[in-house]
Amino acid sequence: MLGLSDAKTLTTTWDQIHSKASLPTSATEFFCLRGPLPDAGECRRAHERYFLRTKAILKRRGEWHAIYLQDCSRTGVGIISPVQLFPSERVQIWIPDNPRYMLQIVRCRRIKSQSYECGTIFHLKLENE
């Protein structure tokens, strides 16, 4: 899938993928959030997280999935996936107007059907194909 770093191409491809994540809230609620995430009190995170609400594409074991990015930090991203992902598993993602990235899954929990909230860390930044 060449050229997925272009936002228009990525969006068109996202729409054609059969395996799509289901948002845990309404699209309006999900996409309206911006800026830093509120402090969670006893948070053990090393880096502040920021809302990053956009569509993205995930490749896992040769299969393509339409996902949503939820938030990001200096070390990783939170995603909403249509399939369960497992800790230590590595996946690739394409984000609009960015190169593709290799991520390692660190946690994943089911929210509802076709909606898994997963935490990842950047494993390796890959150059455009």
Average pLDDT, the chain: 87
Angle at 66 between CA 63 and CA 69, to 5 degrees: 125
- Quote the number of domains for the chain: 1
Q: Angle at Cα 80 formed by Cα 75 and Cα 73, nearest 5°?
A: 20
pTM above 0.75, yes or no: yes
Look at residue 128 and tell me whether its pLDDT is greater than 80.
no
Report the CATH number at residue 16: 2.40.10
| Structural domain contains residue 32 | no
| Residue 14, in any domain of the structure | yes
When mean pLDDT is compared across 40-54, 67-81, 82-96, 108-122, the lowest value belongs to: 40-54
129 pLDDT higher than 50: no
Q: Taking the alpha carbons of 93, 94, 95, 101 in that order, is the dihedral positive or negative?
A: positive
Residue 45 included in any domain: no
- Whether the per-residue pLDDT at 105 is higher than 80: the answer is yes
3 close to 16: Cβ distance less than 8 angstroms: no
User: Each residue of 22-59: pLDDT tens digit?
Assistant: 999 999 998 888 777 766 655 666 678 888 899 999 99
Domain contains 97? yes
pLDDT at position 124 over 60: yes
What would the mean pLDDT of 85-114 be, rounded to a whole number?
94
Residue 41 resides in a domain: no
Q: Which domain covers residue 21, as residue numbers?
A: 1-26+61-129
Query: Could you give the CA distance from residue 13 to residue 119 in angstroms, rounded to a whole number?
Result: 24
**Inside any domain, residue 79:** yes
Cβ distance 117 to 108 under 8 Å? yes
- Identify whether 2 is part of a domain: yes
Model confidence at 104, pLDDT cuts 50, 70, 90, reads very high
Kindly state whether residue 34 falls inside one of the protein's structural domains: no
